[in-house]
Amino acid sequence: MIWQLDLAILTLVIVCAIAAISVKDLLGTAILFGAYSFMMCLLWSIMAAVDVAFTEASVGAGVSTVFFVAAVFRTTRRTKD
Amino acid sequence: MDFLLTHLVAKYNFWLYIILMMIGLYAMIAKNNLIKKLVGMNIFQTAIILFYVSIGSKRGGTIPIVEHIAGGGEHAINPTRYVNPLPHVLMLTAIVVSVSTFGVALALAIKIYQRYKTLEEDELLTRIRES
Amino acid sequence: MKRLALLIVILSGGLLLYATKDFPSWGDPNSPASTHVSPRYLEKSLEETAVPNVVTAVLADYRGYDTMFETTVIFCAGVACFMLLRKFEPEERDLYYRHIPTGLTLHIKGEKQIPSTSKEFEKIDAIWTPYDFIINTVSRFLVPFIQLFALYVIAHGHHSPGGGFQGGVILGASIIVLAVAFNLRTAVRRFGEKIDGIMSALGVFIYAGVGAFCAILGAEFLNYRALAKILPVGKVMARSHGILAVEIGVGIAVMAVMICIYNNVASEGKFDEGL
C-alpha cells in the first residue's frame, strides 16, 4: 500500500461526500455520489480487496447511479438544502 | 501532543473513516430532503464497510487469491502473505444488499412524491396535518 | 434542529475517535481479526475446495447459509419494489406517435390508438428527444460484449475476482443500457416482465435447490461434497462445481432483481415511458 495515494484518495472521498450532501440540485447529488462510489472502489483496490472493489465498481458507481437518476427523473430536482 | 501525533500518524485511516461516518450521520439527521437523507444513509453504510475492509488489510499483504500451479503439487501456504479474506466476504454481500435496499427506498420516495407532491420533510409534515 | 444534530454527531464521533486508541495499528498482521479464523481459510481452502480465490470459496461454501439468505433479501427487495410501484390499469392520457418516413409527430387524444404492429408509426414518449445515432449504434454493439464479459465474470469467479453478484449486476446493466439508450419499451420487449419475475425466483430456487439436493444425497444442507455421488469427479472437485452452480443461481437472481427495480423506478410502475 502507498500511503500518499491512500491519503489523497481518502481526502477526495470526504470532499465528494460533503459536496454530495450540500449541493442544491439532486441531479448533481446523483453524479457526485457516483464519483464518491468510484473513489471508494479505488480505495478498496489499494487495500487489496479486489472482490469488494469490483462489486462497488459495478454496483455503486454503475447501477445505483442509474437508479438515482431514474428516481430524480420521476420526482423532482428541487431541494431546499 | 507527542502522544496525539504518534496516534494520528499510525491511525489516520480510522480517523478519516470516522469523519466520513459523521458526515453520513449528520446528513441523516439534519437534512430536510428525503433523497439527501438516503445519500447520507449510503455514506454511513460505505464508511462502515470501509472500516470493516480496513481491519482485514495487512502490511505487505497481497490479494487473497492463492498462488498455485495448475494440477501441481502441494506446497505450504503462508497466511501472513495474503490479506484477511473474511471481511471481504461479509462486505461483498452487504454492498449488493445495500443497493437493493436503496432501490426500495427510492420506490418509497416516488410513492410519497406521487401522493404529496414534495420531498421536503417540513412541507410533508404540514401536508399530512392538513389532510 | 441542525445544532442538535451537530451536537449528537460530534459526541458520537468523539466517542469513536477516543476508541481508536485501543485499536491495533493499521495493517497489523497480528491483529485479532487476522489471527483467529482466516488463516485456516487461507491455508485449507485450495486443498479442500480446489478454488484459488479464497473469497469465492468462503462466500459460497464455508458461509453458504449467509449468502443464501442475502440472495433471499435481494429477491425480497425486488418483490417489494414491484408491490410498491407496479400499476396495471392504464391511465387516461394522450398518446404520441411519430410517422417514420416524414418524421412528423402525431398527438392523439382520447381512446383511439394506432396498433403497435404498424410499420409507419412508432409510439414515442411524451418527453421525446430524437435518438442519437452514435449512442444507439454503440450501445447496440456493446450489449453482447457486456453480456459475454458478465458470463466470464460468473464462470471465472473461481480463479479471478468476480462471481455471481458482480456478474449478475453486469448482466442486469446490459439490459439497462438498452433501456437508457433506446426506451423502456425496447428493453421490456427484449426481456419481458414475466420472464424477469420467474428468473428472480429461479435464481433463489437454484441456490436452495442445490442445497436441498445435497441433503437428498445424504449429506448436510449445502454440503457440496455429496455431489460427488452423481458427478464424475472427486469430492474436492465436486465442491468446486457446487460453488459454480450456486454462483449461477446468485447471478440469475441479482440480474432479474436489478432489472425489476430499474423498470419499476424509471417508469413509476407503468412499464411504458421510462428514462
For C246, the domain range is 44-91+131-267
| Pair C242, C214: CB distance under 8 Å | yes
Shortest CA gap C129–chain B (Å): 24
Domain count, chain B: 1
pLDDT of residue C89: 79
Is A81 a member of any domain? Answer: no
Q: What is the pTM of this model?
A: 0.91
| Pair B48, B80: CB distance under 8 Å | no
Kindly give, in sequence order, each residue whose CB lies less than 8 Å from that of residue B99, ignoring residues fewer than 6 positions away.
A59, A60, A63, A64, A67
Q: Quick check: B93 pLDDT over 90? A: no
Q: How far apart are the first and last CA of chain A?
A: 38
Residue carrying C-alpha cell 462489486: A55
Is C273 a member of any domain? Answer: no
For A70, the domain range is 3-74
Domain count, chain C: 1
How is residue A39 annotated by DSSP?
Answer: H
The enclosing domain of B39 has a CATH number of: 1.10.287.3510
Q: What is the pLDDT along chain A (81 residues), one digit of tens a residue?
A: 678 888 899 999 999 999 999 999 999 999 999 999 999 999 999 888 999 999 999 998 889 999 999 999 888 888 887
Q: Grid coordinates standing for B57?
A: 488489510
Residue carrying C-alpha cell 487476522: C34
Kindly give, in sequence order, each residue whose CB lies less than 8 Å from that of residue C201, ignoring residues fewer than 6 positions away.
C75
Determine whether the interchain pair A55/C169 forms a contact, defined as Cβ–Cβ distance below 8 Å. yes
Is A79 a member of any domain? Answer: no
Is C60 a member of any domain? Answer: yes
Is A51 part of the contact surface with chain B (CB cutoff 8 Å)? yes
Interface test with C, best of B55, B68, B120 (most C CBs within 10 A): B55
SS (H, E, C) chain C: CHHHHHHHHHHHHHHHHHHHHHCCCCCCCCCHHHHCCHHHHHHHHHHHHCCCEHHHHHHHHHCHHHHHHHHHHHHHHHHHHHHHHCCCCCCCCCEEEEECCCCCEEEECCCCCCCCCCCCEEEECCCCCCCCHHHHHHHHHHHHHHHHHHHHHHHCCCCCCCCHHHHHHHHHHHHHHHHHHCCHHHHHHHCCHHHHHHHHHHHHHHHHHHHHHHHHCCCCCCCHHHHHHCCCCCHHHHHHHHHHHHHHHHHHHHHHHHHHHHHHHHHCCCCCCCC
Is B121 a member of any domain? Answer: yes
Kindly give, in sequence order, each residue whose CB lies less than 8 Å from that of residue C56, ignoring residues fewer than 6 positions away.
A51, C157, C158, C163, C243, C247
pLDDT of residue B70: 64
Is A30 a member of any domain? Answer: yes
Q: Grid coordinates standing for A61?
A: 458507481
The number of beta carbons lying within 10 Å of the beta carbon of residue A2 is 8
| CA angle, C228 then C59 then B102, to 5° | 135
Kindly give, in sequence order, each residue whose CB lies less than 8 Å from that of residue C35, ignoring residues fewer than 6 positions away.
none
What is the spatial distance between Cα C183 and Cα C188, in angstroms, rounded to a whole number? 9
Kindly give, in sequence order, each residue whose CB lies less than 8 Å from that of residue A65, ignoring residues fewer than 6 positions away.
A30, A31, A33, A34, A37
Is C77 part of the contact surface with chain B (CB cutoff 8 Å)? yes
Is C258 part of the contact surface with chain A (CB cutoff 8 Å)? yes
Q: Across the interface, which of B32, B61, B62 has its CB nearest the CB of A81? A: B32
Is A28 a member of any domain? Answer: yes
For B6, the domain range is 2-59+80-130
pLDDT of residue A6: 87
Q: Residue C23, exposed/middle/buried by CB under 10 A (0-12, 13-18, 19+)?
A: middle
Task: Give the model confidence (pLDDT) of B60-91 as tens digits.
Answer: 888 888 887 765 555 677 888 888 899 999 99
A66 SS3 class: helix
pLDDT of residue B131: 83
Determine whether the interchain pair B19/A26 forms a contact, defined as Cβ–Cβ distance below 8 Å. no
Q: What is the pLDDT along chain C (275 residues), one digit of tens a residue?
A: 789 999 999 999 999 988 888 888 877 888 888 888 888 888 888 888 888 899 999 999 899 999 999 999 999 999 999 999 988 877 767 778 888 888 788 787 776 777 777 777 777 777 777 788 899 999 999 999 999 999 999 999 899 888 889 999 999 999 999 998 888 888 888 898 999 999 999 999 999 999 999 999 988 888 898 888 888 888 889 999 999 999 999 999 999 999 999 999 998 888 877 77
Contacts of C169 in chain A (CB under 8 A): 55, 58-59, 62-63
Distance, CA of C253 to chain centre: 6
| Contacting partners of chain B (3+ CB pairs under 8 A) | A, C
Domain count, chain A: 1
Is C55 a member of any domain? Answer: yes
Is C111 a member of any domain? Answer: no
Q: Across the interface, which of C169, C180, C268 has its CB nearest the CB of A59? A: C169
Is B53 a member of any domain? Answer: yes
pLDDT of residue B34: 92
Q: What's the whole-number mean pLDDT along residues B37-52?
A: 93
| Pair B43, B20: CB distance under 8 Å | yes
Q: What is the ipTM of this complex?
A: 0.92
Is B67 a member of any domain? Answer: no
Shortest CA gap B116–chain C (Å): 15
Q: Between B131 and C248, name the one with better pLDDT.
A: C248
Residue carrying C-alpha cell 458507481: A61
Is B87 a member of any domain? Answer: yes
Contacts of B54 in chain C (CB under 8 A): 26
Q: Quick check: B52 pLDDT over 80? A: yes
| Contacting partners of chain C (3+ CB pairs under 8 A) | A, B
